[in-house]
């Protein structure tokens, strides 16, 4: 039986199992173990698992798995949490760059908040009843009137598994515009296959759609797990750049689990 030291972090209710794997001893292909560690009924429980490793070109590398145990696309809230974790480990001070599936991203910690620089976004597809864009992860965005009572699980599951996404799937964000610069976002996340309390790439996508429709930066975002902000610049060609996902990231608890 082996013991694994872990740290549990959350960013506006999006929670993650963090493991210091600078020794590179964790089996990256043990998807069943990763899914087990993320199980809320039988193990630690989380929306995803993150390994932190050394990297030759950046301050560190982030390896992210969804709760189903599979490697996946960029996780915004997980990225904010791993920045706090890196500081806890003494790997960084208040600024860093780190390797992700989207390449090297920059971040800073200031006044208790993590400012994460997100990838630029150019193409926002406008459809009859929704928008689609990729902010490091794919997002289907639709606006709803009664967001408090919306059936996020069943509606989101149907969209995630339906055309044109099918097996690969898309995250699904339901958005309510509160004011020109403020929105409420609820998310069905692929890989978790459920509603999560917050989704960093999702709120970024929703805020950029709000920006496409005339909102000024920053856009304030309410989620079930807390409040975030998205700042951005938009050029004359429709490119969104200098995008920042801004919000808290906190250590919840740490421990050792035997496997």
At residue 188, does pLDDT exceed 70? yes
At residue 87, does pLDDT exceed 90? yes
Residue 167 pLDDT grade (very low, low, confident, very high; cuts 50, 70, 90):
confident
Tell me the pLDDT tens digit for each residue of 174-187.
999 999 999 999 99
Which DSSP symbol is given to 118? Answer: P
The SS3 assignment for 29 reads coil
pLDDT of residue 259: 87
Between CA 219 and CA 225 the distance in angstroms is 17
% of the chain surpassing 90 pLDDT: 96
**Token couple for 244:** 């920042």
* Closest residue by Cα to residue 190 from 70, 46, 44: 70
The answer to whether the predicted template modeling score (pTM) of the entire model surpasses 0.75 is yes
Residue 38 appears among annotated catalytic residues: no
Residue 1 pLDDT grade (very low, low, confident, very high; cuts 50, 70, 90):
low
Residue 75 appears among annotated catalytic residues: yes
Task: Say which of 38, 75, 96, 142 is annotated catalytic.
Answer: 75
At residue 11, does pLDDT exceed 90? yes
Instruction: Catalogue all structural domains in the chain, each as residue range(s) with its CATH number.
Output: 3-117+249-258 (3.10.310.10), 125-247 (3.10.310.10)
Task: Say which of 38, 81, 96, 199 is annotated catalytic.
Answer: 199
Between CA 113 and CA 227 the distance in angstroms is 11
Residue 55 pLDDT grade (very low, low, confident, very high; cuts 50, 70, 90):
very high
């Amino acid at each position: 039986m082996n013991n694994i030291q872990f740290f549990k972090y959350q960013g506006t209710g999006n929670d993650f199992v963090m493991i210091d794997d600078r020794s590179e001893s964790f089996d990256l292909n043990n998807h069943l173990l990763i899914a087990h560690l993320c199980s809320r009924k039988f193990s630690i429980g989380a929306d995803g698992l993150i390994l932190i490793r050394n990297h030759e070109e950046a301050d560190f590398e982030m390896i992210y798995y969804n709760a189903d145990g599979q490697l996946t696309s960029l996780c915004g809230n997980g990225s904010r949490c791993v920045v706090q974790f890196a500081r806890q480990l003494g790997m960084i001070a208040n600024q860093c760059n780190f390797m992700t599936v989207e390449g090297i991203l920059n971040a800073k910690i200031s006044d208790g908040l993590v400012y994460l620089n997100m990838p630029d976004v150019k193409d926002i597809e406008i459809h009859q009843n929704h928008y689609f864009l990729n902010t490091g992860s794919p997002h289907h965005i639709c606006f709803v009137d009664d967001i408090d009572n919306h059936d996020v699980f069943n509606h989101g599951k149907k969209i995630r598994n339906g055309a044109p996404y099918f097996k690969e799937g898309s995250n699904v964000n339901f958005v309510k515009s509160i004011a020109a610069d403020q929105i409420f976002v609820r998310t069905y996340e692929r890989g978790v296959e459920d509603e999560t309390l917050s989704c960093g790439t999702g709120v970024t996508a929703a805020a950029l759609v709000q920006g496409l429709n005339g909102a000024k930066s920053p856009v304030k975002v309410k989620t079930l797990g807390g409040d975030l902000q998205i700042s951005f610049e938009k050029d004359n060609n429709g490119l969104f750049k200098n995008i920042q996902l801004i919000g808290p990231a906190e250590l919840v608890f740490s421990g050792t689990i035997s496997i």
